[in-house]
């Protein structure tokens, strides 16, 4: 394991003046919020949560049937959750990577791969068609090795992908050095089915498109309770109720409105730093003129990318679970994780020593034990949900939205017939076993990273059971 476990004292200076507003949300383009709901209304379709899941659901529902009444209701403001806080990697995979898809749905993986690619193409086409300015670029992503055993794992992945025409390209040290200069990077594997985006600008663009199509949006209107009443579901907010024929729940890692969801999801806090813009000489010292998305191949991994104004976003590594699905804005500021991230950044790029970070933030990921989304219905099919994206939902939420609409419209489609869609992850046990299991998994993951990827008995057992912990 190359990365330090204790940050050096010196790195504190680099993060001493950070803003804790997520970089993407600290943008003058942020739209003014729509007024809250203050009366009782009714609608054909109510969507709860205006992150990517809710926004795609609203847009696709309206585009398919402009006559359908669609209400989108948001506790805070659009993109305030994970959708405005993420790394902006838009991956084609809807299964949290090809390897995870292959290991869990080997019979369907070719279809899932094709559906994921079509999903990414549709996202790109929508951005172009609607003219959403969100710095969308299709540069691919490179997973990087810092130790030789990771190159062996990458080579194995190339072989696994061959029967499925999965396009992977191994990069040796020199090839990687021509992309990015770091003394600790020894090679990598490039995937071509991944793009980068400014996530908040994409979400705000989708929000505008929804409004243009007549979606009614209420912000600062938390739904506190859902109740089935005959043919309808009633959603309660502090100052008004909504009577809906159908409800799509798009609340991600937030405390769920259906109790049954809590057994499948744990909110896990992930953190990110943004640097100041690099000077031309700082940029030359690291290369990286191609704007590829990068991440390292360890189990506890970092993801990093550049922005259009020449900054570097550096996030990941720590994935922190709090007792009993702990959740709240107080958990978004974590100085210990910020220091560790900053230390790792300068280990990767010692030539940038002296560079400061301008933003440091955190957000919750809806981790489930199979790392990829799952769906379900409640209230006799009138409510549907899509969650469990586990840190790879920027692209997959659009596919999740399509499935929710299929379920709510009671439509049999290629999507709803998939085992991937029909099955659920294994549930997490209740507390205290939940915390104990997660702690043990995290410790074991650290051990694996420190011992050339070798998994201990606990991780092997979890793998056998199809249970896992990831971000
Ligand atoms: C730090 C971080 C980095 C990440 N990096 C990446 C990445 O690079 N690539 C990637 O693919 N994925 C990444 N992810 C994950 C990705 O951001 C999510 O999977 C995706 O944004 C989920 O979208 P969503 O709409 O389901 O959830 P959210 O964006 O969290 O939206 C849920 C919305 O529901 C609202 N809500 C909740 N409860 C209620 C209620 N009761 N009433 C009304 N509204 C409610 C919330 O206010 C929120 O706006 C990252 C996540 C984090 C936190």
* Digit-coded pLDDT (tens) for 179-198: 999 999 999 999 999 999 99
Tell me the percentage of the chain whose pLDDT exceeds 70: 100
pLDDT in tens, 102-112: 999 999 999 99
For ligand 1, say whether the CB of 272 is within 6 Å of any of its atoms. yes
pLDDT value at position 350?
A: 97
Ligand 1 centre from 363 Cα, in Å?
Answer: 8
Scan for tokens 């009614």, then name that residue. 216
Most ligand 1 atoms within 8 A of CB, residue of 93, 218, 251 to mutate: 251
Dist. CA 250–CA 386, nearest whole Å: 6
Most ligand 1 atoms within 8 A of CB, residue of 24, 47, 82, 242 to mutate: 82
Ligand 1 centre from 89 Cα, in Å?
Answer: 13
pLDDT value at position 468?
A: 74
Counting atoms of ligand 1 from 1, which one is nearest the CA of 394? 11
Counting atoms of ligand 1 from 1, which one is nearest the CA of 91? 11
Cβ atoms of 35 and 218 within 8 Å: the answer is yes
Confidence of residue 1 (pLDDT cuts 50, 70, 90): low
Token pair for 311: 């900054």
Dist. CA 44–CA 67, nearest whole Å: 10
pLDDT in tens, 98-156: 999 999 999 999 999 999 999 999 999 999 999 999 999 999 999 999 999 999 999 99
Residue owning the nearest CA to atom 19 of ligand 1: 393
What does DSSP assign to residue 343? H
Least confident of 244-248, 261-265, 424-428, 452-456: 452-456
What's phi and psi for 278, nearest 5 deg? Answer: -80, 145
What's phi and psi for 200, nearest 5 deg? Answer: -65, -40
For ligand 1, say whether the CB of 250 is within 6 Å of any of its atoms. yes
Q: Please, what is the angle between helix 457-465 and helix 433-450, to 10°?
A: 120
Element (H, E) at 210: helix 199-212
Most ligand 1 atoms within 8 A of CB, residue of 374, 391, 471 to mutate: 391
Residue owning the nearest CA to atom 34 of ligand 1: 49
Cβ atoms of 366 and 267 within 8 Å: the answer is yes
Average pLDDT, the chain: 96
Dist. CA 143–CA 302, nearest whole Å: 10
pLDDT value at position 466?
A: 81
> Residues near 413 by Cβ (< 8 Å), separated by ≥ 6?
406
Largest CA distance in the chain: 67
What does DSSP assign to residue 191? E
Counting atoms of ligand 1 from 1, which one is nearest the CA of 271? 1
Most ligand 1 atoms within 8 A of CB, residue of 59, 73, 86 to mutate: 86
What's phi and psi for 81, nearest 5 deg? Answer: -85, -150
Ligand 1 centre from 457 Cα, in Å?
Answer: 33
Ligand 1 centre from 155 Cα, in Å?
Answer: 33
Cα 49 vs. chain centroid, distance in angstroms? 15
Tell me the percentage of the chain whose pLDDT exceeds 90: 96
Single pTM value for the model: 0.97
Q: Is the peptide bond before 432 cis (omega within 30 degrees of 0)?
A: yes
Counting atoms of ligand 1 from 1, which one is nearest the CA of 365? 53
pLDDT value at position 136?
A: 98
Mean pLDDT of 333-358: 97
For ligand 1, say whether the CB of 50 is within 6 Å of any of its atoms. yes
Mean pLDDT of 52-73: 98
pLDDT value at position 2?
A: 84
For ligand 1, say whether the CB of 344 is within 6 Å of any of its atoms. no
Mean pLDDT of 79-107: 97
Dist. CA 213–CA 209, nearest whole Å: 6
């Amino acid at each position: 394991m190359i990365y330090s476990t204790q940050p050096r004292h010196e790195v504190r200076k680099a993060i001493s003046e950070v803003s804790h507003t997520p970089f993407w949300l600290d943008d003058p383009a942020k739209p003014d919020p729509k007024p809250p709901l203050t009366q009782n209304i009714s609608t054909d379709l109510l969507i709860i949560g205006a992150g990517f899941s809710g926004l795609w659901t609203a847009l696709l529902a309206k585009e398919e049937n402009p006559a359908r009444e669609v209400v989108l209701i948001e506790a805070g403001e659009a993109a305030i959750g994970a959708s405005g806080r993420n790394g902006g990697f838009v991956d084609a995979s809807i299964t949290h990577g090809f390897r995870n898809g292959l290991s869990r749905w080997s019979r369907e993986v070719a279809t899932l791969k094709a559906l994921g690619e079509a999903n990414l193409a549709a996202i790109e086409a929508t951005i172009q068609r609607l003219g959403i300015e969100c710095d969308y670029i299709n540069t691919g992503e490179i997973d990087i090795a810092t130790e030789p055993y990771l190159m062996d794992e990458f080579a194995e992945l190339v072989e696994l992908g061959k029967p499925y025409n999965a396009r992977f390209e191994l990069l040796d040290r020199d090839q990687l050095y021509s992309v990015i200069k770091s003394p600790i990077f020894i090679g990598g594997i490039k995937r071509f089915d991944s793009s980068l985006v400014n996530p908040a600008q994409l979400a705000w663009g989708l929000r505008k498109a929804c409004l243009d199509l007549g979606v009614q949006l209420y912000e600062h209107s938390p739904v506190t309770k859902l109740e089935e009443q005959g043919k309808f579901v009633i959603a309660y907010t502090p100052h008004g109720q909504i009577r809906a024929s159908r409800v799509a729940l798009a609340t991600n890692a937030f405390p769920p409105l259906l109790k049954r969801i809590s057994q499948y999801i744990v909110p896990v806090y992930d953190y990110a730093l943004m640097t100041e813009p690099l000077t031309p000489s700082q940029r030359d010292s690291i290369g990286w003129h191609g704007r590829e998305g990068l991440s390292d191949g360890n189990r506890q991994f970092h993801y990093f990318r550049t922005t259009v104004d020449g900054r570097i976003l550096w996030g990941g590594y720590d994935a922190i679970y709090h007792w009993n699905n702990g959740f709240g804005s107080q958990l978004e500021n974590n100085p210990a994780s910020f220091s560790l991230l900053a230390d790792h950044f300068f280990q990767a790029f010692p030539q940038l020593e002296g560079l400061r970070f301008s933003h440091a933030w955190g957000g919750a990921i809806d981790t489930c034990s199979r790392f990829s989304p799952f769906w379900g219905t409640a209230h006799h099919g009138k409510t549907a949900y899509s969650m469990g994206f586990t840190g790879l939902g920027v692209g997959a939420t659009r596919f999740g939205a399509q499935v929710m609409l299929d379920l709510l419209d009671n439509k049999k489609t290629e999507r709803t017939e998939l085992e991937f869609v029909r099955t659920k992850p294994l549930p997490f046990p209740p507390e205290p076993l939940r915390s104990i299991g997660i702690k043990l998994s995290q410790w074991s993951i650290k051990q694996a990273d420190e011992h050339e990827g070798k998994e201990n008995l606990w991780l092997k057992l979890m793998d056998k059971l199809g249970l896992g912990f990831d971000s």
